[in-house]
Structure 1
Amino acid sequence: MTQLVTTTVDGRIAHVTLDRPKKLNAMNDQLLEEFSATIATLGADDAVSVIVVAGAGNNFSVGFDVDPGNGYSEAAAGLSPYADWASLRRNIQRWLAVWDTPKPVISAIEGYCMGGATMLAVCTDITVVSEDATLGWPAIPLGGGLLSPTTAWLIGPKKAKELSFIAGSSLTGSEAAAMGWANHAVPAGTALEKADSLAAQIAKMPLDLLRLKKLALNRFLDQQGFRESVLMGAEWDAIAHTSPATHVMTDKVKELGLKGAIGWFNQDPA
Protein backbone atom coordinates (compact mmCIF):
# COMPACT_ATOMS: atom_id res chain seq x y z
CA MET A 1 0.00 0.00 0.00
CA THR A 2 1.39 3.38 -1.01
CA GLN A 3 1.90 5.79 1.87
CA LEU A 4 -0.23 8.92 1.72
CA VAL A 5 1.75 10.85 4.35
CA THR A 6 5.52 11.17 4.00
CA THR A 7 8.05 12.46 6.51
CA THR A 8 11.59 13.81 6.31
CA VAL A 9 13.74 15.23 9.10
CA ASP A 10 16.38 17.88 8.56
CA GLY A 11 18.22 18.69 11.76
CA ARG A 12 15.59 19.58 14.34
CA ILE A 13 12.88 20.29 11.74
CA ALA A 14 10.48 17.58 10.55
CA HIS A 15 8.53 17.92 7.33
CA VAL A 16 5.18 16.13 7.05
CA THR A 17 3.66 16.02 3.57
CA LEU A 18 0.09 15.10 2.69
CA ASP A 19 0.98 13.03 -0.35
CA ARG A 20 -2.08 12.30 -2.46
CA PRO A 21 -1.56 14.90 -5.19
CA LYS A 22 -3.76 13.29 -7.87
CA LYS A 23 -6.70 13.76 -5.48
CA LEU A 24 -5.49 17.22 -4.40
CA ASN A 25 -4.54 15.59 -1.07
CA ALA A 26 -8.16 14.83 -0.19
CA MET A 27 -8.25 13.23 3.25
CA ASN A 28 -9.50 9.66 3.09
CA ASP A 29 -9.36 7.24 6.01
CA GLN A 30 -5.86 6.00 5.17
CA LEU A 31 -4.38 9.49 4.96
CA LEU A 32 -6.03 10.53 8.23
CA GLU A 33 -4.74 7.48 10.09
CA GLU A 34 -1.22 7.93 8.74
CA PHE A 35 -1.26 11.63 9.61
CA SER A 36 -2.33 10.99 13.20
CA ALA A 37 0.34 8.31 13.68
CA THR A 38 3.01 10.57 12.20
CA ILE A 39 2.13 13.54 14.41
CA ALA A 40 2.13 11.32 17.51
CA THR A 41 5.56 9.90 16.65
CA LEU A 42 7.13 13.27 15.91
CA GLY A 43 5.53 14.84 18.96
CA ALA A 44 7.28 12.29 21.17
CA ASP A 45 10.65 12.62 19.40
CA ASP A 46 12.99 14.82 21.45
CA ALA A 47 15.29 15.17 18.43
CA VAL A 48 12.58 17.21 16.66
CA SER A 49 11.75 20.77 17.76
CA VAL A 50 9.42 21.97 14.97
CA ILE A 51 7.03 20.22 12.60
CA VAL A 52 6.15 21.71 9.19
CA VAL A 53 3.02 20.36 7.47
CA ALA A 54 2.52 20.88 3.72
CA GLY A 55 0.80 19.24 0.77
CA ALA A 56 2.26 17.60 -2.30
CA GLY A 57 1.59 18.86 -5.81
CA ASN A 58 1.14 22.59 -5.13
CA ASN A 59 -1.99 22.11 -3.01
CA PHE A 60 -2.40 21.75 0.73
CA SER A 61 -5.62 19.70 0.76
CA VAL A 62 -9.19 19.95 -0.51
CA GLY A 63 -10.38 18.53 2.83
CA PHE A 64 -12.29 15.39 3.68
CA ASP A 65 -12.80 13.01 0.76
CA VAL A 66 -16.57 13.02 0.22
CA ASP A 67 -16.54 10.43 -2.55
CA PRO A 68 -18.69 7.46 -1.46
CA GLY A 69 -16.76 4.84 0.49
CA ASN A 70 -14.16 7.13 2.00
CA GLY A 71 -15.64 7.58 5.47
CA TYR A 72 -16.90 11.14 5.57
CA SER A 73 -19.88 10.76 3.24
CA GLU A 74 -20.83 7.52 5.00
CA ALA A 75 -21.01 9.44 8.26
CA ALA A 76 -23.57 11.76 6.68
CA ALA A 77 -25.73 9.07 5.12
CA GLY A 78 -26.50 6.06 7.22
CA LEU A 79 -25.01 6.15 10.70
CA SER A 80 -27.07 6.72 13.80
CA PRO A 81 -26.76 10.24 15.24
CA TYR A 82 -24.53 8.95 18.05
CA ALA A 83 -22.27 6.95 15.73
CA ASP A 84 -22.10 9.93 13.37
CA TRP A 85 -21.13 12.23 16.26
CA ALA A 86 -18.43 9.75 17.38
CA SER A 87 -17.00 9.55 13.86
CA LEU A 88 -16.92 13.32 13.46
CA ARG A 89 -15.43 13.83 16.92
CA ARG A 90 -12.67 11.34 16.14
CA ASN A 91 -11.52 13.46 13.19
CA ILE A 92 -11.75 16.66 15.22
CA GLN A 93 -9.54 15.03 17.83
CA ARG A 94 -6.95 14.46 15.10
CA TRP A 95 -6.68 18.24 14.72
CA LEU A 96 -6.68 18.83 18.47
CA ALA A 97 -3.80 16.36 18.67
CA VAL A 98 -1.88 18.84 16.52
CA TRP A 99 -2.96 21.63 18.90
CA ASP A 100 -1.68 19.50 21.82
CA THR A 101 1.57 18.38 20.18
CA PRO A 102 4.29 19.49 22.63
CA LYS A 103 6.22 21.53 20.07
CA PRO A 104 5.36 24.12 17.41
CA VAL A 105 3.59 22.94 14.26
CA ILE A 106 3.66 25.18 11.18
CA SER A 107 1.32 24.77 8.19
CA ALA A 108 2.62 25.84 4.77
CA ILE A 109 -0.30 26.32 2.40
CA GLU A 110 -0.23 26.57 -1.37
CA GLY A 111 -3.19 26.19 -3.69
CA TYR A 112 -6.33 24.76 -2.18
CA CYS A 113 -7.00 24.47 1.55
CA MET A 114 -10.64 23.48 1.77
CA GLY A 115 -13.16 22.14 4.24
CA GLY A 116 -11.64 19.97 6.96
CA ALA A 117 -8.14 21.03 5.93
CA THR A 118 -8.93 24.51 7.22
CA MET A 119 -9.51 22.99 10.67
CA LEU A 120 -6.08 21.37 10.54
CA ALA A 121 -4.52 24.72 9.62
CA VAL A 122 -6.33 26.53 12.47
CA CYS A 123 -5.00 23.96 14.95
CA THR A 124 -1.40 24.48 13.84
CA ASP A 125 0.54 27.12 15.76
CA ILE A 126 1.72 29.20 12.80
CA THR A 127 0.28 29.33 9.28
CA VAL A 128 2.00 30.56 6.13
CA VAL A 129 -0.09 30.90 2.97
CA SER A 130 0.67 31.81 -0.60
CA GLU A 131 -1.01 35.03 -1.62
CA ASP A 132 -3.12 33.24 -4.24
CA ALA A 133 -4.07 30.27 -2.07
CA THR A 134 -7.79 29.43 -1.88
CA LEU A 135 -9.11 28.81 1.62
CA GLY A 136 -12.61 27.53 1.14
CA TRP A 137 -15.81 26.13 2.53
CA PRO A 138 -17.52 23.08 0.94
CA ALA A 139 -19.05 23.77 -2.47
CA ILE A 140 -22.24 21.94 -1.48
CA PRO A 141 -24.01 21.96 1.91
CA LEU A 142 -23.19 18.74 3.75
CA GLY A 143 -22.94 19.90 7.37
CA GLY A 144 -24.02 22.40 9.90
CA GLY A 145 -21.27 23.80 12.09
CA LEU A 146 -17.97 21.96 11.85
CA LEU A 147 -15.73 24.61 10.28
CA SER A 148 -17.00 28.08 11.03
CA PRO A 149 -16.91 28.03 14.86
CA THR A 150 -13.21 27.13 14.60
CA THR A 151 -12.53 29.86 12.08
CA ALA A 152 -14.44 32.45 14.11
CA TRP A 153 -11.64 32.40 16.68
CA LEU A 154 -9.27 33.89 14.12
CA ILE A 155 -11.41 36.13 11.89
CA GLY A 156 -14.38 37.01 14.11
CA PRO A 157 -18.02 35.91 14.05
CA LYS A 158 -19.31 38.30 11.37
CA LYS A 159 -17.01 37.08 8.61
CA ALA A 160 -17.27 33.48 9.82
CA LYS A 161 -21.07 33.66 9.46
CA GLU A 162 -20.84 35.07 5.95
CA LEU A 163 -18.48 32.31 4.88
CA SER A 164 -20.66 29.66 6.52
CA PHE A 165 -23.96 30.82 5.08
CA ILE A 166 -22.79 30.86 1.42
CA ALA A 167 -21.82 27.49 -0.06
CA GLY A 168 -18.47 27.56 -1.78
CA SER A 169 -17.24 30.66 0.06
CA SER A 170 -13.51 31.30 0.04
CA LEU A 171 -10.70 33.62 1.04
CA THR A 172 -7.46 34.25 -0.78
CA GLY A 173 -4.24 33.80 1.12
CA SER A 174 -3.75 37.57 1.16
CA GLU A 175 -7.22 38.10 2.65
CA ALA A 176 -6.64 35.38 5.23
CA ALA A 177 -3.40 36.95 6.43
CA ALA A 178 -4.99 40.41 6.59
CA MET A 179 -7.77 39.00 8.81
CA GLY A 180 -5.40 37.13 11.11
CA TRP A 181 -6.25 33.62 9.89
CA ALA A 182 -2.63 33.25 8.76
CA ASN A 183 0.64 34.72 10.00
CA HIS A 184 2.15 35.49 6.61
CA ALA A 185 1.03 35.66 2.97
CA VAL A 186 3.90 35.18 0.54
CA PRO A 187 4.31 34.93 -3.24
CA ALA A 188 3.05 31.72 -4.83
CA GLY A 189 5.48 28.85 -4.53
CA THR A 190 7.31 30.22 -1.49
CA ALA A 191 5.07 29.20 1.44
CA LEU A 192 7.25 26.24 2.37
CA GLU A 193 10.40 28.34 2.08
CA LYS A 194 8.95 30.92 4.49
CA ALA A 195 7.75 28.18 6.85
CA ASP A 196 11.23 26.65 6.87
CA SER A 197 12.78 30.04 7.64
CA LEU A 198 10.47 30.46 10.63
CA ALA A 199 11.10 26.87 11.73
CA ALA A 200 14.87 27.40 11.66
CA GLN A 201 14.53 30.42 13.94
CA ILE A 202 12.14 28.62 16.28
CA ALA A 203 14.37 25.53 16.47
CA LYS A 204 17.08 27.62 18.16
CA MET A 205 14.87 27.81 21.26
CA PRO A 206 15.46 24.96 23.74
CA LEU A 207 12.74 22.35 23.33
CA ASP A 208 11.70 22.37 26.98
CA LEU A 209 11.04 26.12 26.78
CA LEU A 210 9.16 25.74 23.49
CA ARG A 211 6.91 23.18 25.15
CA LEU A 212 6.17 25.51 28.05
CA LYS A 213 5.52 28.50 25.79
CA LYS A 214 3.07 26.53 23.65
CA LEU A 215 1.35 25.06 26.70
CA ALA A 216 0.94 28.51 28.27
CA LEU A 217 -0.60 30.03 25.15
CA ASN A 218 -2.86 27.06 24.49
CA ARG A 219 -4.01 26.97 28.10
CA PHE A 220 -5.01 30.62 27.80
CA LEU A 221 -7.09 29.93 24.68
CA ASP A 222 -8.59 26.75 26.12
CA GLN A 223 -9.71 28.70 29.18
CA GLN A 224 -11.56 31.00 26.79
CA GLY A 225 -13.30 28.01 25.25
CA PHE A 226 -11.31 27.16 22.11
CA ARG A 227 -11.20 23.39 22.66
CA GLU A 228 -14.88 23.05 23.51
CA SER A 229 -15.86 25.22 20.55
CA VAL A 230 -13.92 22.95 18.21
CA LEU A 231 -15.34 19.75 19.71
CA MET A 232 -18.86 21.15 19.60
CA GLY A 233 -18.66 21.14 15.81
CA ALA A 234 -19.22 17.37 15.85
CA GLU A 235 -22.54 17.86 17.63
CA TRP A 236 -23.84 20.44 15.17
CA ASP A 237 -22.69 18.46 12.15
CA ALA A 238 -24.27 15.24 13.45
CA ILE A 239 -27.55 17.10 13.91
CA ALA A 240 -27.28 18.62 10.42
CA HIS A 241 -26.66 15.17 8.94
CA THR A 242 -30.17 14.13 10.01
CA SER A 243 -31.65 16.87 7.84
CA PRO A 244 -33.48 15.77 4.68
CA ALA A 245 -31.55 18.47 2.80
CA THR A 246 -28.25 16.80 3.70
CA HIS A 247 -29.48 13.43 2.47
CA VAL A 248 -30.54 14.98 -0.81
CA MET A 249 -26.97 16.21 -1.29
CA THR A 250 -25.29 12.93 -0.29
CA ASP A 251 -27.62 11.07 -2.64
CA LYS A 252 -26.62 13.46 -5.44
CA VAL A 253 -22.93 12.82 -4.70
CA LYS A 254 -23.56 9.07 -5.02
CA GLU A 255 -25.61 9.54 -8.19
CA LEU A 256 -23.58 12.17 -10.02
CA GLY A 257 -20.18 12.20 -8.33
CA LEU A 258 -18.88 15.24 -6.46
CA LYS A 259 -18.41 17.48 -9.52
CA GLY A 260 -21.82 16.54 -10.84
CA ALA A 261 -23.45 17.24 -7.47
CA ILE A 262 -21.79 20.66 -7.35
CA GLY A 263 -23.10 21.44 -10.82
CA TRP A 264 -26.60 20.30 -9.83
CA PHE A 265 -26.55 22.48 -6.71
CA ASN A 266 -25.38 25.56 -8.62
CA GLN A 267 -27.80 25.32 -11.51
CA ASP A 268 -30.31 28.12 -11.87
CA PRO A 269 -33.76 27.30 -10.48
CA ALA A 270 -36.32 26.32 -13.10
Structure 2
Amino acid sequence: MTQEPVVQYERDGRVARITLNRPEHLNAISDAMPGELKAAVERANTDDAVHVIALSGAGRAFCAGYDLKAYAEAPRPVKGSQDMPWDPLVDYQWMRYATDCYFSLWRSLKPVVTKVHGYAVAGGSDIALSSDIVIMAEDAKIGYPPARIWGCPTTGMWVYRLGAEKAKRMLLTGDLIDGKTAKDYGLVLDCVPADELDAHTEALIARIASVPKNQLMMQKMMINQAYDNMGLNSTQTLATLFDGITRHSPEGVAFKARCEQVGFKAAVKERDGGDPLAWKNAR
Protein backbone atom coordinates (compact mmCIF):
# COMPACT_ATOMS: atom_id res chain seq x y z
CA MET A 1 0.00 0.00 0.00
CA THR A 2 1.33 3.44 -0.92
CA GLN A 3 1.70 5.71 2.08
CA GLU A 4 -0.05 9.05 1.81
CA PRO A 5 2.31 12.07 1.92
CA VAL A 6 2.43 13.77 5.30
CA VAL A 7 3.61 17.04 3.75
CA GLN A 8 1.56 18.65 0.99
CA TYR A 9 2.97 20.96 -1.69
CA GLU A 10 1.29 23.29 -4.12
CA ARG A 11 2.28 26.41 -6.02
CA ASP A 12 -0.05 29.39 -5.96
CA GLY A 13 1.38 32.01 -8.31
CA ARG A 14 4.63 33.20 -6.74
CA VAL A 15 3.95 31.34 -3.49
CA ALA A 16 4.90 27.72 -2.69
CA ARG A 17 2.49 26.43 -0.05
CA ILE A 18 3.88 23.66 2.16
CA THR A 19 1.44 22.10 4.63
CA LEU A 20 2.16 19.60 7.41
CA ASN A 21 -0.65 17.13 6.88
CA ARG A 22 -1.31 14.76 9.78
CA PRO A 23 -4.29 16.68 11.19
CA GLU A 24 -5.69 13.69 13.08
CA HIS A 25 -2.43 13.67 15.09
CA LEU A 26 -2.06 17.46 15.41
CA ASN A 27 0.62 17.12 12.70
CA ALA A 28 2.92 15.24 15.08
CA ILE A 29 6.24 14.40 13.44
CA SER A 30 6.33 10.94 11.90
CA ASP A 31 9.37 9.14 10.51
CA ALA A 32 8.53 10.39 7.01
CA MET A 33 7.82 14.05 7.81
CA PRO A 34 11.38 15.49 8.04
CA GLY A 35 12.40 14.09 4.67
CA GLU A 36 9.15 15.11 3.00
CA LEU A 37 9.52 18.63 4.39
CA LYS A 38 13.05 18.91 3.00
CA ALA A 39 11.92 17.60 -0.39
CA ALA A 40 9.13 20.18 -0.53
CA VAL A 41 11.55 23.00 0.28
CA GLU A 42 13.93 21.78 -2.42
CA ARG A 43 11.05 21.64 -4.89
CA ALA A 44 10.17 25.27 -4.14
CA ASN A 45 13.79 26.31 -4.55
CA THR A 46 14.06 24.71 -8.00
CA ASP A 47 10.81 26.28 -9.24
CA ASP A 48 11.74 29.54 -10.92
CA ALA A 49 8.22 30.89 -10.46
CA VAL A 50 8.39 30.71 -6.64
CA HIS A 51 9.43 33.82 -4.71
CA VAL A 52 8.33 32.88 -1.18
CA ILE A 53 7.37 29.75 0.78
CA ALA A 54 4.33 29.67 3.06
CA LEU A 55 4.48 26.95 5.75
CA SER A 56 1.47 25.92 7.83
CA GLY A 57 -0.22 22.96 9.48
CA ALA A 58 -3.53 21.35 8.57
CA GLY A 59 -6.30 20.99 11.11
CA ARG A 60 -6.19 22.21 14.72
CA ALA A 61 -2.46 22.83 15.19
CA PHE A 62 0.78 23.65 13.41
CA CYS A 63 2.75 20.74 14.92
CA ALA A 64 2.54 18.99 18.29
CA GLY A 65 6.11 17.65 18.19
CA TYR A 66 7.39 14.12 17.69
CA ASP A 67 4.89 11.27 17.61
CA LEU A 68 6.67 9.45 20.45
CA LYS A 69 3.90 7.44 22.10
CA ALA A 70 4.82 4.14 20.43
CA TYR A 71 8.56 4.62 21.01
CA ALA A 72 8.12 5.70 24.62
CA GLU A 73 5.79 2.88 25.61
CA ALA A 74 7.54 0.02 23.76
CA PRO A 75 10.39 -1.81 25.53
CA ARG A 76 13.95 -0.98 24.49
CA PRO A 77 15.53 -0.99 22.03
CA VAL A 78 13.45 1.48 19.97
CA LYS A 79 14.41 4.49 17.92
CA GLY A 80 15.86 7.15 20.21
CA SER A 81 16.05 4.79 23.18
CA GLN A 82 18.80 2.20 22.80
CA ASP A 83 19.78 -0.69 24.99
CA MET A 84 22.52 0.20 27.46
CA PRO A 85 25.38 0.77 26.99
CA TRP A 86 24.40 3.05 24.16
CA ASP A 87 26.19 4.53 21.17
CA PRO A 88 25.82 8.34 21.15
CA LEU A 89 26.62 8.55 17.44
CA VAL A 90 23.65 6.38 16.50
CA ASP A 91 21.33 8.95 18.07
CA TYR A 92 23.37 11.80 16.64
CA GLN A 93 23.09 10.49 13.09
CA TRP A 94 19.32 10.06 13.37
CA MET A 95 18.64 13.43 14.96
CA ARG A 96 21.14 15.34 12.83
CA TYR A 97 19.28 14.10 9.76
CA ALA A 98 16.02 15.48 11.16
CA THR A 99 17.68 18.75 12.21
CA ASP A 100 19.15 19.24 8.75
CA CYS A 101 15.74 18.57 7.20
CA TYR A 102 14.14 21.25 9.37
CA PHE A 103 16.99 23.59 8.65
CA SER A 104 16.34 23.31 4.92
CA LEU A 105 13.84 26.08 5.77
CA TRP A 106 16.62 28.32 7.11
CA ARG A 107 19.00 27.45 4.25
CA SER A 108 16.32 27.85 1.58
CA LEU A 109 17.19 30.58 -0.89
CA LYS A 110 13.49 31.44 -0.99
CA PRO A 111 12.25 33.11 2.23
CA VAL A 112 9.90 31.10 4.45
CA VAL A 113 6.94 32.55 6.36
CA THR A 114 5.38 30.19 8.93
CA LYS A 115 1.87 30.49 10.31
CA VAL A 116 1.35 28.97 13.77
CA HIS A 117 -2.03 28.12 15.23
CA GLY A 118 -2.89 25.69 17.99
CA TYR A 119 0.51 24.35 19.02
CA ALA A 120 4.15 24.48 17.92
CA VAL A 121 5.57 22.26 20.63
CA ALA A 122 8.91 20.45 21.06
CA GLY A 123 10.00 19.30 17.58
CA GLY A 124 7.20 21.44 16.18
CA SER A 125 8.90 24.49 17.62
CA ASP A 126 12.16 23.37 15.98
CA ILE A 127 10.38 23.40 12.61
CA ALA A 128 8.68 26.77 13.14
CA LEU A 129 11.79 28.50 14.47
CA SER A 130 13.87 27.26 11.51
CA SER A 131 11.84 29.46 9.18
CA ASP A 132 12.60 33.11 8.51
CA ILE A 133 9.45 34.74 9.86
CA VAL A 134 6.86 33.31 12.26
CA ILE A 135 3.38 34.73 12.81
CA MET A 136 1.28 33.22 15.60
CA ALA A 137 -2.32 33.31 16.68
CA GLU A 138 -2.62 35.03 20.07
CA ASP A 139 -3.99 31.88 21.67
CA ALA A 140 -1.47 29.49 20.07
CA LYS A 141 1.16 27.87 22.30
CA ILE A 142 4.87 27.38 21.66
CA GLY A 143 7.58 25.84 23.82
CA TYR A 144 9.90 22.89 24.41
CA PRO A 145 8.57 20.79 27.33
CA PRO A 146 11.11 17.94 26.78
CA ALA A 147 13.74 20.35 28.08
CA ARG A 148 12.54 19.10 31.49
CA ILE A 149 13.46 15.48 30.68
CA TRP A 150 14.03 13.60 27.40
CA GLY A 151 15.00 16.33 24.98
CA CYS A 152 17.18 19.25 23.87
CA PRO A 153 16.16 21.51 20.95
CA THR A 154 18.53 20.39 18.23
CA THR A 155 18.22 23.43 15.97
CA GLY A 156 19.39 25.76 18.77
CA MET A 157 17.13 28.53 17.48
CA TRP A 158 15.78 29.50 20.90
CA VAL A 159 19.04 31.23 21.81
CA TYR A 160 19.55 32.78 18.38
CA ARG A 161 16.07 34.26 18.40
CA LEU A 162 15.79 35.22 22.07
CA GLY A 163 19.28 35.76 23.44
CA ALA A 164 20.70 34.00 26.47
CA GLU A 165 18.41 35.09 29.29
CA LYS A 166 15.02 34.50 27.66
CA ALA A 167 16.26 31.26 26.08
CA LYS A 168 17.22 30.09 29.56
CA ARG A 169 13.82 31.17 30.86
CA MET A 170 12.19 28.87 28.32
CA LEU A 171 14.56 25.89 28.40
CA LEU A 172 15.16 25.78 32.16
CA THR A 173 11.41 25.36 32.69
CA GLY A 174 10.04 23.75 29.53
CA ASP A 175 7.08 26.11 29.79
CA LEU A 176 4.69 26.90 26.96
CA ILE A 177 3.93 30.52 26.12
CA ASP A 178 1.14 32.00 24.05
CA GLY A 179 1.49 34.05 20.90
CA LYS A 180 1.34 37.39 22.68
CA THR A 181 4.16 36.44 25.05
CA ALA A 182 6.19 35.00 22.16
CA LYS A 183 5.88 38.33 20.36
CA ASP A 184 6.78 40.28 23.50
CA TYR A 185 9.87 38.09 23.94
CA GLY A 186 10.90 38.66 20.32
CA LEU A 187 10.56 34.96 19.48
CA VAL A 188 8.11 35.60 16.63
CA LEU A 189 7.47 38.58 14.41
CA ASP A 190 3.82 39.09 15.22
CA CYS A 191 0.68 37.67 16.79
CA VAL A 192 -2.94 38.38 15.93
CA PRO A 193 -6.35 37.06 16.97
CA ALA A 194 -6.93 33.59 15.57
CA ASP A 195 -9.64 34.76 13.19
CA GLU A 196 -7.23 37.29 11.66
CA LEU A 197 -4.24 34.95 11.34
CA ASP A 198 -4.82 33.88 7.73
CA ALA A 199 -5.40 37.37 6.37
CA HIS A 200 -2.53 38.91 8.31
CA THR A 201 -0.08 36.23 7.18
CA GLU A 202 -1.24 36.36 3.56
CA ALA A 203 -0.72 40.12 3.44
CA LEU A 204 2.92 39.74 4.45
CA ILE A 205 3.46 36.83 2.04
CA ALA A 206 2.04 38.88 -0.82
CA ARG A 207 4.28 41.82 0.07
CA ILE A 208 7.39 39.60 0.04
CA ALA A 209 6.29 37.85 -3.16
CA SER A 210 6.29 41.21 -5.00
CA VAL A 211 10.08 41.53 -4.59
CA PRO A 212 12.45 40.09 -7.27
CA LYS A 213 13.84 36.66 -6.36
CA ASN A 214 17.47 37.75 -6.53
CA GLN A 215 16.84 40.58 -4.07
CA LEU A 216 15.12 38.20 -1.64
CA MET A 217 17.99 35.71 -1.91
CA MET A 218 20.69 38.31 -1.30
CA GLN A 219 19.00 39.82 1.76
CA LYS A 220 18.38 36.40 3.33
CA MET A 221 21.93 35.15 2.60
CA MET A 222 23.46 38.32 4.04
CA ILE A 223 21.50 38.01 7.28
CA ASN A 224 22.01 34.26 7.67
CA GLN A 225 25.78 34.44 7.27
CA ALA A 226 25.95 36.57 10.41
CA TYR A 227 24.40 33.68 12.37
CA ASP A 228 26.78 31.21 10.75
CA ASN A 229 29.68 33.39 11.91
CA MET A 230 28.27 33.32 15.45
CA GLY A 231 28.66 29.53 15.53
CA LEU A 232 25.18 28.27 14.67
CA ASN A 233 26.47 24.95 13.28
CA SER A 234 28.54 24.30 16.41
CA THR A 235 25.52 24.99 18.59
CA GLN A 236 23.46 22.49 16.61
CA THR A 237 26.17 19.82 16.81
CA LEU A 238 26.31 20.11 20.61
CA ALA A 239 22.53 20.29 20.98
CA THR A 240 22.01 17.22 18.82
CA LEU A 241 24.50 15.22 20.90
CA PHE A 242 22.82 16.43 24.09
CA ASP A 243 19.40 15.40 22.73
CA GLY A 244 20.56 11.78 22.57
CA ILE A 245 22.10 12.02 26.03
CA THR A 246 18.80 13.21 27.53
CA ARG A 247 17.14 9.95 26.52
CA HIS A 248 19.91 7.81 28.02
CA SER A 249 20.74 9.70 31.23
CA PRO A 250 19.57 8.14 34.52
CA GLU A 251 16.55 10.46 34.49
CA GLY A 252 15.87 9.75 30.82
CA VAL A 253 15.96 6.01 31.42
CA ALA A 254 13.61 6.39 34.41
CA PHE A 255 11.21 8.51 32.31
CA LYS A 256 11.17 5.81 29.63
CA ALA A 257 10.39 3.18 32.27
CA ARG A 258 7.58 5.38 33.59
CA CYS A 259 6.14 5.71 30.06
CA GLU A 260 6.08 1.92 29.79
CA GLN A 261 4.42 1.67 33.21
CA VAL A 262 1.67 4.33 33.00
CA GLY A 263 1.66 5.40 29.34
CA PHE A 264 3.34 8.28 27.56
CA LYS A 265 0.65 10.90 28.15
CA ALA A 266 0.47 10.23 31.89
CA ALA A 267 4.26 10.28 32.23
CA VAL A 268 4.47 13.57 30.31
CA LYS A 269 1.80 15.08 32.55
CA GLU A 270 3.88 14.14 35.60
CA ARG A 271 7.11 15.40 34.00
CA ASP A 272 5.62 18.75 33.03
CA GLY A 273 3.98 19.42 36.39
CA GLY A 274 5.66 21.55 39.02
CA ASP A 275 6.44 18.87 41.61
CA PRO A 276 9.77 17.00 41.90
CA LEU A 277 9.56 13.61 40.29
CA ALA A 278 10.19 10.87 42.84
CA TRP A 279 10.30 8.15 40.19
CA LYS A 280 13.17 9.71 38.28
CA ASN A 281 15.68 9.34 41.14
CA ALA A 282 16.65 13.00 40.77
CA ARG A 283 20.08 13.96 42.01
Q: Are the equivalent residues in 2 in contact too, given 1:76–1:142 (CA < 8 A)?
A: no
Q: Are the equivalent residues in 2 in contact too, given 1:102–1:215 (CA < 8 A)?
A: yes
Q: Are the equivalent residues in 1 in contact too, given 2:130–2:155 (CA < 8 A)?
A: no
Whole-angstrom distance in 2 between the partners of 1:15 and 1:256: 40
Cα deviation digits, residues 31-71 of structure 1 (max 9, x gap):
2222121111112211111101101113100111112249x
Whole-angstrom distance in 2 between the partners of 1:256 and 1:40: 41
Shift of 1:98: 1.1
Do structure 1's residue 227 and structure 2's residue 233 form an aligned pair?
A: yes
> What is the 5 A alignment of 1:215-254?
215-254=221-260
Match of 2:75 in 1: none
Shift of 1:147: 5.5
Cα deviation digits, residues 233-259 of structure 1 (max 9, x gap):
101112323202101112322343321
Match of 2:26 in 1: 24
Structure 1 residues 133 and 147, CA gap change in structure 2 (3 angstroms): farther
Whole-angstrom distance in 2 between the partners of 1:254 and 1:184: 40
Structure 2: which amino acid aligns with 1:220?
A
Whole-angstrom distance in 2 between the partners of 1:255 and 1:19: 31
170-179 vs 133-142, greater mean Cα deviation: 133-142
TM-score relative to the length of structure 1: 0.91
Aligned residue among 53, 56, 77 for 2:55: 53
For residue 195 of structure 2, give the secondary structure of its aligned residue in structure 1: coil
The sequence identity of aligned pairs, in percent, is: 28
Structure 1 residues 157 and 112, CA gap change in structure 2 (3 angstroms): same
Aligned residue among 26, 35, 52 for 1:33: 35
Whole-angstrom distance in 2 between the partners of 1:148 and 1:161: 15
Structure 1 residues 221 and 264, CA gap change in structure 2 (3 angstroms): closer
For residue 98 of structure 1, give the secondary structure of its aligned residue in structure 2: helix
TM-score relative to the length of structure 2: 0.87
Whole-angstrom distance in 1 between the partners of 2:222 and 2:163: 23
After superposition, the CA RMSD in angstroms is 2.1
Match of 1:123 in 2: 130
Whole-angstrom distance in 1 between the partners of 2:211 and 2:10: 21
Aligned residue among 87, 94, 101 for 1:87: 94
Match of 1:170 in 2: 176
Q: Are the equivalent residues in 2 in contact too, given 1:25–1:61 (CA < 8 A)?
A: yes
Cα deviation digits, residues 136-175 of structure 1 (max 9, x gap):
22266112x32594201212222222222224x1111011
> What is the count of residue pairs matched by the alignment?
266
Match of 1:106 in 2: 113
Unmatched 5+ stretches in structure 1? none
Structure 1: which amino acid aligns with 2:200?
K
Whole-angstrom distance in 2 between the partners of 1:64 and 1:135: 14
Whole-angstrom distance in 1 between the partners of 2:155 and 2:226: 21
Structure 2: which amino acid aligns with 1:9?
R
For residue 177 of structure 2, give the secondary structure of its aligned residue in structure 1: strand
Whole-angstrom distance in 1 between the partners of 2:160 and 2:53: 23
Match of 1:257 in 2: 263
For residue 29 of structure 1, give the secondary structure of its aligned residue in structure 2: coil
Aligned residue among 192, 197, 200 for 1:191: 197
